[in-house]
Amino acid sequence: MASTDPSRMPVIIGVGQISDRTEVPEPTSFDLTLAALRRAEEDAGTRCLDRLDTLELVRQNSWPPAEDMGARLAATLGSPPRRPPVVHTAHGDIPIRLINDAANRIAAGEITLAAVAGGEGLRSAARRAQRDAEGGAKRDLMRERLLQAAAPVAAKYGLLTPTDIYPLFENAMRAAWGQSLEEGQTESAAIWSRFSEVAATNPHAWIRRTHTPAEILEPSAGNRPIAFPYPKLMVANNNINQGAAVLVASLAFARSAGIAEDRLIYVGAGAAAHESDFFWERADYTRSPSLEVAVRNTLTWNSLTAADLDHVELYSCFPCVPKAARRVIGLSADRPLSVSGGLTFAGGPGGNYMTHAAAAMVERLRESGRHGFLLANGGWFSDCHCLVLSRTPPTLDTLPRDHDVQTQADAARGEVPPFLEHYTGAGRIETYTVIYDRDGKPAFGSVIGRTPRNERFVARVPAEDTATIATLTSGSVEPIGLPGTAEEGTEGRAFWRI
């Protein structure tokens, strides 16, 4: 039931961010999270970390899984939260869900003060791993961890990491939008260039330099190809040491603490839904019903349209996400789509980026505008959570509200085609990518195909098949829909031939 008590209105009273570039000592996830919490308390202007009802933490890739960061933080803060700290899965949508959940609990009268925080020390962890390897080949910590838990078909075809899978959506969406490769890349580069402009003015951003669209598109020593069509300057930068925290309180708590009204940012209603975590279980790769219904419900519940949004943050691990999101919301491509600078330039701290984005949105709204829209994405373009923050209070009936709109997303989704884990025979390309080595040469191509009976299959293009690789990447022909053949290959894989 919606609250009719204005004192229960949830407000953000403090935010904190840290980007730590120190060489010695190397900061850990714990150090970064604690520093961000301290900064959020300082921003609130009142001692409050010893008065928390809840402490919600985003699990970090660089933190030793055997150690309980929640318990250690609670002990360090002096007075532990009223409820035991909780460490949540490291998905990109999680910070917005935690802020939304805290706001709902405050509006329901269950709690009065919550902290959402995380700190990712991947730069430190990578250095430690490299030292342990004693000068061996550079390790990919994320790929190593994902390989351990990967489904057999994903492991067999090397479709493990976000950089392996998101291009499948990019290429399918571009074709569905009627764009040529050049048109799609031009849109991506323009959006990313504007991200870099925002990051250049963000004191918490990891890369604070403006990049032109041409620099983002052109191959260079610092912009090698990663996974077609993405070069390095279009993908999330995880080589960072960053932390962020957000303090959410009731309006009554904020006023009793003497926090000035112009420092308070109100939390509106949010909506969330998800797709399958398995890329082969998607109805298609040209849209996300979960994103669509999450966006539309969030706007409706807050009585907003695209024209009302002064600031937006559209999750930007890869271009396909903000490009799809802006189309659903109804935003032009020539406006800034981030208040922080995006995961390439502001930094992509594991699952904690949207805590940084929420903090940046609070700071931006304190300066100007009324309404900010946060769109978080998690998993493999599989989880979406949207939330509105505002300088002005929402109506009393806005919260609490269940953010789950999964039923609507399921109803909007098409039928998932049958998947054949091993298929040989004729087919057509549904979507594709090419994965590159660190020297910029193709390692292999990946094709998601459909059989003549519309079943789905996966096949690999070996690097030696330069003709097929060239067809997939040249832009001279649209690969989506091209016919070909899946043939028996090595190591139990099917090989794709055009």
pLDDT at 233 over 80: yes
Segment 370-375 mean pLDDT = 98
- The residues near 255 (Cβ < 8 Å, ≥ 6 apart) are none
What was the pLDDT predicted at 60? 83
What was the pLDDT predicted at 126? 79
Segment 82-93 mean pLDDT = 94
What was the pLDDT predicted at 68? 85
| Residue spans of alpha helices (H) in 177-330 | 181-200, 213-217, 251-256, 289-301, 320-329
Residue 140 vs residue 265, higher pLDDT: 265
What was the pLDDT predicted at 489? 95
- Predicted confidence (pLDDT) per residue in 311-361, tens digit: 999 999 999 999 999 999 999 989 999 999 999 999 999 899 999 999 999
What was the pLDDT predicted at 473? 98
Measured over the CA atoms of residue 97, residue 98, residue 102 and residue 108, the dihedral's sign is positive
Measured over the CA atoms of residue 183, residue 189, residue 192 and residue 194, the dihedral's sign is negative
What was the pLDDT predicted at 127? 81
Every domain of the chain and the residues it spans:
425-497
Segment 147-159 mean pLDDT = 84
Q: Which of 15-24, 146-155, 251-260 has the lowest mean pLDDT?
A: 146-155
**Radius of gyration of the CA atoms of the chain, in A:** 23
- Binned at pLDDT 50, 70 and 90, residue 239 comes out as very high
Q: Identify the burial level of 439 via C-beta atoms within 10 angstroms of its C-beta, where 0-12 means exposed, 13-18 middle and 19 or more buried.
A: exposed
Q: For the sheet containing 54-58, what is the strand order?
A: 86-88, 54-58, 113-121, 241-250, 10-19, 265-274, 383-390, 371-378, 311-314
Question: Average per-residue pLDDT in the chain?
Answer: 94
pLDDT at 207 over 70: yes
From residue 96, give the alpha-carbon distance in Å to each of 93, 271, 315, 383, 486: 6, 10, 11, 11, 42
Q: Nearest to residue 43, comparing CAs of 239, 194, 246, 293?
A: 246
Buried b (16+ CB within 10 A) or exposed e, 463-473: bebeebbebbb
Are the C-beta atoms of residues 424 and 397 closer than 8 Å to each other?
no
What was the pLDDT predicted at 204? 97
Q: What DSSP element (H or E) covers 381?
A: none
Alpha carbons 39 and 461: distance in angstroms, whole number: 50
Measured over the CA atoms of residue 194, residue 195, residue 200 and residue 203, the dihedral's sign is positive
What was the pLDDT predicted at 87? 93
What was the pLDDT predicted at 130? 72
- Binned at pLDDT 50, 70 and 90, residue 118 comes out as very high
Q: What DSSP element (H or E) covers 91?
A: none
- Binned at pLDDT 50, 70 and 90, residue 165 comes out as very high
What was the pLDDT predicted at 24? 79
Segment 105-127 mean pLDDT = 93
- Work out the number of other CB atoms within 10 angstroms of the CB of residue 300: 12
Look up residue 134 and give its two tokens. 């004693």
Q: Which of 58-67, 97-106, 373-382 has the lowest mean pLDDT?
A: 58-67
Q: Which of 147-161, 428-442, 445-459 has the lowest mean pLDDT?
A: 147-161
Q: Nearest to residue 232, comparing CAs of 222, 241, 240, 242?
A: 222
Percent of the chain with pLDDT over 90: 87
Alpha carbons 49 and 37: distance in angstroms, whole number: 8
> Scanning the structure block, which residue is given the tokens 């052109």?
218
Segment 263-283 mean pLDDT = 97
Q: Where are the beta strands (DSSP E) in 336-424?
A: 371-378, 383-390
What was the pLDDT predicted at 256? 97
What was the pLDDT predicted at 465? 97
3-state helix, strand, coil in the chain (%, to 5): 40, 20, 40
Q: Provide the CATH topology of domain 425-497.
A: OB fold (Dihydrolipoamide Acetyltransferase, E2P) (2.40.50)
Residue 22 vs residue 191, higher pLDDT: 191
What was the pLDDT predicted at 268? 98
pLDDT at 151 over 90: no
Are the C-beta atoms of residues 322 and 236 closer than 8 Å to each other?
no
- Binned at pLDDT 50, 70 and 90, residue 285 comes out as very high
Q: Identify the burial level of 298 via C-beta atoms within 10 angstroms of its C-beta, where 0-12 means exposed, 13-18 middle and 19 or more buried.
A: buried
Are the C-beta atoms of residues 162 and 321 closer than 8 Å to each other?
no
Whether pTM > 0.75 for this model: the answer is yes
Segment 163-189 mean pLDDT = 98
What was the pLDDT predicted at 418? 98
